[in-house]
Chains A and B, each alone.
Chain A
Amino acid sequence: MQRNNNEDRQADALPAVGSVAPLTFQGDNDALVRALRNRHPGAAAALWDRYGAMVYRTVSRTLGPDPEVPDLVQETFIRAIDAVRGLNDSERLSAWLCSVAVFTTRAFIRRRARRRWLSHFGPDEVGPTHQRAVADEAREALRLFYGVMDTLPTDERIAFVLRFVDGMSLIDGAAACNTSLATFKRRLSRGEKRFLVEAELQPSLRELLDEGTRWGRGGRT
């Protein structure tokens, strides 16, 4: 007990003279973009700190609950740092990163669809899309929701998710997809129609949506 007290005192004393903190990068987005272009040490870490949560959310909302999300977040940042020379306006850094995240996820969804098609004769090699253990009903509803998403063509799925799950405006959604507003609207419209048709074919999802309890709202009202 006495030893533990000594250790506590010693441990508490250390932060007073020495401390570890994340490596900081001072400067606004303009300085950050320049630093990334010049491969400034610490700039990549600063980019991660500033936009890690945003990129994570964009990827997870596009893909759904999936164990691959953390890897895709990392891949997004690596792609962005590779392509940062092509970013002309540093004020658009956030929107541009969002777009990189969307395209990284889109490439992954297509890759997985190809693998799934190729593994037609050996289905055990490629697991189901949403393998995370279902811990509660909200997750189950989420799994069913993204199960329907998996049936949509990739571009329509992304338009649907950006608009309805991410809550983006039509203009921001079009920018994230790097398309014209008209194209984005067309994709969104097709996505909506397909989603409703597919949702109708999924009795479990329909039941959940009609009951409205498992998404944490209707059950308590």
Chain B
Amino acid sequence: MTPNLDLKALGERARDALDAEFPGELLTRQNRAQFINALHAHLAPSAIRRTAWFRRTFAIPTFVAVAVAAAAVFYFWPVEPSFTVAGMPGKIGHTLDSGQNAVAVDFSGGNRVELSPQARMSVVENAARSTRVRLDRGRALLSIVKQGRTFAVQAGQSTVTVTGTRFNVDFDDKTQRLQVALFEGSVYITGPCFPKPHRMVAGDHFSQVCNPGVAAAIPAPAPAPVSAPNAMTPEPHEVVNDNWRALADAGRYREALHAAQSAGISAIFRQATADELLALGDTARIAGNAVLAKRAWQTLQQRFARSPQAAVAAFSLGRLSFDGEHDYAQAAGHFSRYLARAPSGPLAGDAWGRLLQARERAGLADVAARDGLAYLERFPGGPFAGLARRLAESDPQRR
């Protein structure tokens, strides 16, 4: 009877059922990037909010009038873009060696490059529509204002192109290793070592060695503006619309899927990177197209079998089999594959838990009991510990 309910056991069952709903994609690069961008959007206007009452009362009409006048002056007044190096006027083409001290390079549009000690760079171009700097060696922190103009950093054979973001570029001229740490927004990296522009999102760290001896014979593609994904340098034999990525990043999954389908799913499957295939699968799943999600993840596993993304695809396929198809034996296979490839991966705990659930539901009691014990050894206080204990206790061989 209900009044005699064991609330603890009831709560435990509710917990198991809820944990079965845990979305592994919460921890993917895309969701992480969405959170970081939301955080930056939240932090940026805080100073403005504090004076909101003042603006509402007095300042807004005045500000609007001044802004209109200023915009008119700015638009019609011919201003030559300029930059300063540690407060002194800088010159195009001059090599800037930071020596023992960090040096700030400020551009007239509000962009800033902070050069770390022992770094060397030069401003190659500073025109109305684009700025290009060459980083010969060392580290630079870039804060780029979104203003409709291109800012590009050339480091060795590679070019990082951006319109509004904050990131570190670190280039070792001896080993030719380029490292990019992206804190806000997104950038594209192009160069002879990339078959097509390589996209980074907030929270990514990129590391690459591009061997100039091998790459020198291949002409570098022109840098692509970030704001126009369609204009990105395509591969010579096939043009693929990359719009779906931007729509997916914005959380518009149905539209993203439609854009991907319009661009040609087969071409995307053939050309997309591992990250893109993973994201396409997530997009399709959220948009309700489980068949396409499955194809994307399977393609990822075939094309990039040894990549970390292939392991995540195995986890996602497991969830699809478990939740969507109720094929628990197949789901157990996928979760096992994830654990084989990434035994200490970020989804390992959840993969173990889902594996237990899948094996239990597939009727594999003896295997599930063994896995329950293994789970308890690894995660004694884990969220699936209740289920693991139950399975371990019900081991037919122990009876």
Contact = CB atoms under 8 A, between A and B. Distances in A.
Nearest to A73: B26
B204 A22 contact: yes
Contact of B11 (A14, A44, A141, A167): A167
Contacts of A61: 14-15, 18
A42 interface: yes
B75 to A, nearest CB: 34
A192 B7 contact: yes
Contacts of A199: 2, 5
B303 A49 contact: no
A21 B274 CA distance: 12
B263 interface: no
B3 interface: yes
B173 interface: no
Interface residues of B, number: 70
Contacts of B125: none
Contact of B7 (A22, A135, A195): A195
A139 interface: yes
Interface in B8-45: 8, 10-23, 26-27, 29, 31-32, 34-36, 38-39, 42-43
Which of A23, A49, A192, A217 gathers the greatest number of chain B CB atoms within 10 Å?
A23
B20 A18 contact: no
Interface string A188-213: 00001001100110000010011000
B58 to A, nearest CB: 28
Nearest to B181: A23
A199 B207 CA distance: 57
B17 A215 contact: yes
Interface in B321-357: 323, 326, 346, 349-350
Contact of B303 (A8, A44, A52, A166): A8
Contact of B26 (A15, A52, A136): A52
A42 B20 CA distance: 30
A192 to B, nearest CB: 6
Contacts of B13: 141, 215-217
Interface in B176-195: 181-184, 193-195
B208 interface: yes
A52 to B, nearest CB: 6
Interface string A1-38: 00010011011101101111111100000000000000
Contact of B22 (A39, A44, A53): A53
B275 A138 contact: no
Given A17-B210, A19-B207, A23-B203, A167 B15 contact: yes
B207 A164 contact: no
Contacts of B35: 44, 48, 74, 77
A84 interface: no
B201 to A, nearest CB: 9
A4 B209 CA distance: 25
| Residue picked from B3, B17, B38, B275, most chain A C-beta under 10 Å | B17
A142 interface: yes
Contacts of B21: 60, 65, 139
A186 B77 CA distance: 71
B206 interface: yes
Q: Which of B43, B182, B203 has the most CB of A within 10 A?
A: B203
A20 B204 contact: yes
A78 interface: yes
B383 interface: yes
A135 B361 CA distance: 15
Given A42-B181, A206-B2, A164 B17 contact: no
The residue in B10, B42, B274 that gathers the most chain A C-beta atoms within 10 A of its C-beta is B10
B205 A18 contact: no
Given A8-B303, A65-B18, A200-B3, A17 B32 contact: no
Nearest to B326: A136
5 contacts: A17-B193, A17-B210, A49-B346, A142-B14, A209-B10
Interface of B: 1-3, 5, 7-8, 10-23, 26-27, 29, 31-32, 34-36, 38-39, 42-43, 166, 181-184, 193-195, 198, 200, 202-211, 270-271, 273-275, 303-304, 306-307, 323, 326, 346, 349-350, 360-361, 383, 390
Given A23-B204, A53-B349, A65-B18, 17 more contacts: A11-B274, A11-B303, A12-B304, A12-B306, A14-B194, A20-B29, A23-B182, A56-B22, A57-B19, A57-B22, A60-B22, A77-B35, A78-B42, A142-B17, A165-B15, A192-B7, A195-B7
Pairs of residues from A and B, 4 with the lowest C-beta to C-beta distance, nearest first: A164-B11, A18-B208, A41-B183, A215-B13
